Amino acid sequence: MNNIKNINQKDVIIALDFPGKADVLNFLDCFPADERLFVKIGMELFYAEGPEIINLIRRRGHSIFLDLKLHDIPNTVKKTMAVLSGLDVDMVNLHASGGSAMMRAALDGFTRPDGTRALIIAVTQLTSTDGDMLKNELLIEKNMTETVLKYAENAARSGLDGVVCSPLEAMDIKKALGDKFLTVTPGIRFASDDTKDDQKRIMTPKRAAVSGCDYIVVGRPVTQAAEPLKAYRQCRMDFMGY
Ligand code: C5P
């Protein structure tokens, strides 16, 4: 059994989609100093600031999902995951469309010599992809649910801990792959939000709570809110009940 870091079973993950450190610190300063958050560092922030941004956020006591969505040949992903295993994060990810061999190699590379590792999950289909795009651009003949389920099954068989999917697919994944297989779901919007932005497959935090989502990933509805703390608290209340 791998020694996996202890984080809450259910949580709201805030996507820190900011161009650099100054904006991140400004945003984090909206929260009480002793509030422990679960945040997501994506490509924009990581490529701008490098690994030091992880240490900075960690020093404030927050949990971190490093969302770099790796997708390359198995050997390259394995070696890159070995590098990421040296960073102090709680969760990393890759694209399930890279295939099972790539996912197994990733897991291998990410597991430290002493057997410890953080969580590793696979992106199924982006929440900005809809059925039309799946069929007409990606030329995938199966429907969205079938495609996402198959990718999730591949991830589970490869030994991964869960998937990134839309909240619309979370329940089917839980039913097929069991409660322990994690569902991490972006595409969250409040009922009052008048824009979906670029997201297509969306749900409110309240509905996500009863839809088999373990973690919801929320970006703009919190980061761009007039009062980010209030928006975050509302999100937690809706999703977690406290
Ligand atoms: O601002 P918004 O709530 O749409 O942000 C969602 C976040 O989740 C973004 O950082 C995006 O990169 C990420 N994400 C996603 N869909 C996926 C995987 C990650 O929206 N399938």
pLDDT of residue 5: 55
Tens-place pLDDT, residues 162-199: 999 999 999 999 999 999 999 999 999 999 987 888 88
Asked if residue 2 has pLDDT above 60, the reply is no
Percent of residues, the chain, with pLDDT higher than 90: 92
Per-residue pLDDT, 165: 96
Active site residue 69: yes
* Residue 239 in this model has a pLDDT that exceeds 70: yes
* CA 95 to centroid of chain Cα atoms: 11
- Asked if pLDDT for residue 1 goes beyond 60, the answer is no
Q: How far is ligand 1, taken at its centre, from the CA of residue 115, in Å? A: 30
Average of pLDDT values for 108-122? 97
Tokens (6 digits) for 211? 């839809």
Please state, rounded to an integer, the average pLDDT across all residues of the chain: 95
Question: Taking the model in full, what pTM does it have?
Answer: 0.95
102 pLDDT above the threshold of 50: yes
Cα separation, 205 vs 44, whole angstroms: 25
Alpha carbons 186 and 110: distance in angstroms, whole number: 24
* Euclidean distance between CA atoms 188 and 212, whole angstroms: 14
Distance CA 190, CA 235 (A): 8
The per-residue pLDDT for 4 is: 58
Interval between CA 177 and ligand 1 midpoint (Å): 23
Say which residue the tokens 């490098």 belong to: 50
pLDDT surpasses 70 at 241: yes
Q: E strand or H helix at 5, and its extent? A: none
State which of 14, 16, 17 you would mutate to test the pocket of ligand 1, scoring each by most atoms of that ligand within 8 A of its C-beta: 17
Query: Which residue out of 5, 21, 40, 69 is catalytically annotated?
Result: 69
CB–CB of 62/39 below 8 Å? yes
**Which residues 6+ apart lie within 8 Å of 119 measured at CB?**
4, 5, 7, 90, 91, 92, 161, 162, 182
For residue 195, the model assigns a pLDDT of: 81
What is the C-alpha separation between 152 and 124, in angstroms, rounded?
A: 7
User: Which mutation among 127, 188, 190, 216 tests ligand 1's pocket best, with the greatest number of atoms within 8 A of CB?
Assistant: 127
Q: What would the 3-class secondary structure string for 127-174 be?
A: CCCCHHHHHHCCCCCCCHHHHHHHHHHHHHHCCCCEEECCHHHHHHHH
